[in-house]
Structure 1
Amino acid sequence: MTLIKSISGIRGTIGGPAGDTLNPLDIVKFTSAYATFIRRSGKSNSNKIVVGRDARISGEMVKNVVCGTLMGMGYDVINIGLATTPTTELAVRMSGADGGIIITASHNPRHWNALKLLNHEGEFLTKADGNEVLSIAEKEDFEYADVDNLGKYVEDNTFDQRHIESVLALELVDVEAIKNSHFKVVVDSVNSVGGIILPELLDKLGVEYKFLNGEANGDFAHNPEPLEKNLGGIMDELKKGGYDLGIVVDPDVDRLAFIQEDGKMYGEEYTLVTVADYILDHVKGATVSNLSSTRALRDVTEKHGCKYYAAAVGEVNVTTKMKEVGAVIGGEGNGGVIYPESHYGRDALVGIALFLSSLAQKNVKVSELRASFPNYFIAKNRIDLTPSTDVDAILVQVKEKYGKEPDVQVTDIDGVKLDFPTKWVHLRKSNTEPIIRVYSEASTMEEADALGKQLMQIVYDMQK
């Protein structure tokens, strides 16, 4: 059983002893700390906090504890019910709330849940703000409201529709072209909230669809991370023929992957690449992704005569960099599309609408669209260490070893990334385990894996 407290919130497995799992006592403690932080920040004074959740089996229990605690802290609660992460983010902004809590463990298995914390702009807390929440929780430095100042509770189920309307209103979402294309798609919403909101979006876009795992009961039919090894069902359905595209989302609908019409994976790294290429066809500007994302985004950006920037891993790091450079599109290679014209958060609905707009305007098959982009492969490995290993010292040694190489660009804003002329490798330490994650990319999977293993051996040799 596991309980992980981090700057982005609290997550863990359900059931077990207090302090070791995600249980009511720790939910109360962390929610109280968050409410205390929001009040002290003074960024907004509506006295309202939005709560939304995915369809996890434990979601109802966690929601009840969160909402009751917020009311006990004197906050009015706007419960938007079963809702995607981007819907909840938008609801904070649309309602003028002081903040929001999203109850979701994203792509983690069914026995996990989490609280993700938003500021008054509907965006994830910064590292400094997250650390302040952790500090308040550790000290239990909070005070509850007296009986005359308890918060009120309302339910508002309008935000799905408002979210969809905001997507359709985006200038580069070509609703007419999508409708005229008469797309036929298969969707795997992994038994969560995508099965509620995506049919409404696709209806508005005139897309014919079939859903797999569409019932939002939280009993995930397969591992919910949208990776090829978990998507045999939808890939087999596409291979039967008669479909233009497969669409896959994770339980809270902020990650997006596609399946080609021939049943092959489009590649989750290429969700952002494709959307960015479409955006840059119409609007020139900078792009941003994290250091562990495919080089294809840089290539596509430079093809359009624009500038690409890399950010540290983590959505808040990407959005911070996007604001800094005025990026027109950004995101993460895990299928996360962040489009500032909508909001600064990963949003699969926005990604679907922009991807279909590109497909409709170019009038090509999905496999043909994929073939138009540079082809890269990412290998993912890990180095297991002992708890006493000085990971930072090892990464410094790697940086020093390659820093003098003329054909290697070294980036150290998040671990160490080594950019070679035709490939790269990124080493970063885990925040929760004594391991170093080793991601590497090249023009073939064999070359990518070989590069990763080469660096792994160097690290092993450094420990001798």
Structure 2
Amino acid sequence: MAWAAANSDWMVSSYTISSIRPAPRPEQPSRADRGARAVSPCPLYPFRMERQTASAGAQQQSARDTGASPLMITVSGCRGVVGGSLTPETICRYVGAFSAWLEEQKAPGDGPVVVGRDGRRGGDVIADIAMSALRASGRRVIDLGIAMTATTGLMVRRHNGAGGLVVTASHNPAEWNGLKPLTADGRAPDASQAERIVTLFHEGRRVLAPHDALGARDGDDTGHHAHVAAVLEAIDRVVNIDQIKRRGVRVALDSLNCSGAVGGMLLLDALGCELIHVNRDSSGDFPHPPEPIEEHLKDLCMLVKESFCDIGFAQDPDADRLVIVDEKGTYIGEEYTLALGAEALLGAGGFGSAATLAANLSTSRMIDDVAKKHRARVVRTPVGEANVVSAMVREGCALGGEGNGGVVWPEIVHIRDSLSAIALTLALMTRENASLSELVGRTPAYAIDKRKVAIREGLADKASAAIRQRWSKARIDTQDGVRIDLDDEGAWLHVRASNTEPILRLIAEAPTKQRAAALLDEAQSVIEGA
């Protein structure tokens, strides 16, 4: 089915491989005919590296306040500061490790690597280096240009790719950039796969092809349209698209001048929305700090209110997160994105037996309330998109995500996707014939509080044991630190060690701010007394 946008000269249509425009190149032998390629260690490059994972805040402080320039090689990929730790040598070294990992996977043998970038400044240079390194390994490359992480994942599958690379630093500050690997399934590697890539990086492994077997580089600019077409096809099974069009929703969208701008415009136009689109030029110039939190989105809140919009949406640079502003100009909080998406999908029915959802241990219990309403169940996972997605694949989940505004709708792609979240939210408003503030008012409200507690090195396990002992009669989950569920009062506490600092991260949720703060106070007292 094709969806034409009103008042536009484009059409979102079903994706066809013939729409690729390959660059001219000589005929090349297949990989099977090329013979074995060299898999070898590469020399160590002179760079400063930190292997641990760091939060965006810790990274920003390290890079700016202390003048340091850390390189983060983690299960999430590679990140560093452009002009500092993220050097051309580092990029080639990481891509070499990724290529060696692809060689180990041996599937699909002749598949290309699909490359997209989030649009931030300097990303084109990093993408060029990465694609050259991939071609040197004998891999054909499909260059999407500026593309959402979810779009890149979807196109990996459409091209029957061996994997993908996204040039992005997610919501990190503008001076940061990095590489995020994707599997042949178009999703983030699971924990064991990601650890293997990290190991290959530290071993200096790489793959080198002979001169007559270097990979080609082709361009494909159909990714935005293919992604939007997939979302439209899926959302039409939730609520008839014509109903959304008739509602004529007035939407303000802040795309941060990055990868979500084109897809967001195409989707909202196809859904018949009246769009006020700010920060949409794909220049990569951030008009405000890129993390989509309340203090960074005051202009959007004002725009929604003053322009009489029905809703406002904000994306981060690679558009894998979505936060929402209601018609009153109120930032409703990241946690609502997943809860509203789940309500939209589960309320449409059609799941036969009870549906299953997935969310990490630090995600609001709003998702549990939505699931209970529809007789669904929630699978909890350790923090991290890859952990959520692994559970979704294992359990056959209808939807999943995290409390940071990330929604994973497997009908589209197993990656957090702001376009899926936009469509589900608008579908819910249409089906319920309700404003966003009314929908929020129908959802049980909770207060979340967070804190960091310093501990001496090596005492995290002892502190966690003390937490378990204090709440021994509660429901306890130890997948990722320790989570205590106090079901009788609708509250929970999650305590987990930082990977980068000698601290414990505490997060509590309760029906009131006072109770959430009291839980943190008590947990901190237990930890300090351990």
Name the TM tier (shorter chain). over 0.9
1:46–1:96 contact (8 Å) kept in structure 2:
no
CA positional deviation for 1:266: 2.1
| Residue 332 (structure 1) aligned to one of 396, 402, 424 | 402
Higher mean C-alpha displacement, 394-403 vs 150-159: 394-403
The aligned runs of 1:33-432 (5 Å cut-off) are: 33-170=97-234, 171-283=237-349, 284=351, 285-386=355-456, 388-403=457-472, 405=473, 408-420=474-486, 421=488, 422-432=490-500
Counterpart of 1:87 in 2: which secondary structure?
helix
Give, in whole Å, the separation in 1 of the partners of 2:417 and 2:495.
27
CA positional deviation for 1:48: 0.8
1:106-130 CA deviation, whole Å, 9 max, x = no partner?
Answer: 1111111111111101011111111
Task: Name the counterpart of 2:524.
Answer: 456
Give, in whole Å, the separation in 2 of the partners of 1:88 and 1:363.
34
Higher mean C-alpha displacement, 38-47 vs 418-427: 38-47
Letter in 1 for 2:278: L
CA positional deviation for 1:350: 0.9
Letter in 2 for 1:291: L
2:239–2:431 contact (8 Å) kept in structure 1:
no
Gaps of 5+ in 1: none
Counterpart of 1:426 in 2: which secondary structure?
strand
Give, in whole Å, the separation in 2 of the partners of 1:282 and 1:346.
21
Letter in 2 for 1:78: I
Give, in whole Å, the separation in 1 of the partners of 2:321 and 2:73.
22
CA positional deviation for 1:188: 0.9
Give, in whole Å, the separation in 2 of the partners of 1:220 and 1:294.
29
Identity of aligned residues (%): 35
1:184–1:207 contact (8 Å) kept in structure 2:
yes
CA positional deviation for 1:241: 4.7
1:297-344 CA deviation, whole Å, 9 max, x = no partner?
Answer: 101111112222211111111112122222211111111111122221
1:105-158 CA deviation, whole Å, 9 max, x = no partner?
Answer: 111111111111111010111111111111111111223111111111111111
Give, in whole Å, the separation in 1 of the partners of 2:465 and 2:106.
40
Instruction: Report the number of matched residues.
Output: 454
1:79–1:153 contact (8 Å) kept in structure 2:
yes
Letter in 1 for 2:301: M
2:161–2:184 contact (8 Å) kept in structure 1:
yes
1:50–1:79 contact (8 Å) kept in structure 2:
yes
Letter in 2 for 1:447: R
Change (3 A) 1:401 1:85: same
Letter in 1 for 2:519: L
- Superposed CA RMSD in Å reads 1.3
Letter in 2 for 1:178: I
1:52–1:79 contact (8 Å) kept in structure 2:
yes
Give, in whole Å, the separation in 2 of the partners of 1:173 and 1:267.
25
Change (3 A) 1:92 1:371: same
CA positional deviation for 1:173: 5.0
Give, in whole Å, the separation in 1 of the partners of 2:110 and 2:203.
26
Letter in 2 for 1:202: L
Letter in 1 for 2:527: V
Flag as ranges the 4+ runs of structure 1 deviating above 4 A.
none
Give, in whole Å, the separation in 1 of the partners of 2:171 and 2:200.
28
TM-score (structure 1 length as normaliser): 0.95
Letter in 2 for 1:460: E
2:239–2:348 contact (8 Å) kept in structure 1:
no
Give, in whole Å, the separation in 2 of the partners of 1:115 and 1:177.
40
CA positional deviation for 1:459: 1.1
Change (3 A) 1:442 1:86: same
Give, in whole Å, the separation in 2 of the partners of 1:315 and 1:189.
22
Change (3 A) 1:57 1:39: same
Higher mean C-alpha displacement, 426-435 vs 200-209: 426-435
| Residue 30 (structure 1) aligned to one of 94, 101, 113 | 94
Give, in whole Å, the separation in 1 of the partners of 2:114 and 2:239.
28
Task: Name the counterpart of 1:2.
Answer: 70
Give, in whole Å, the separation in 1 of the partners of 2:504 and 2:289.
24
Give, in whole Å, the separation in 2 of the partners of 1:166 and 1:135.
36
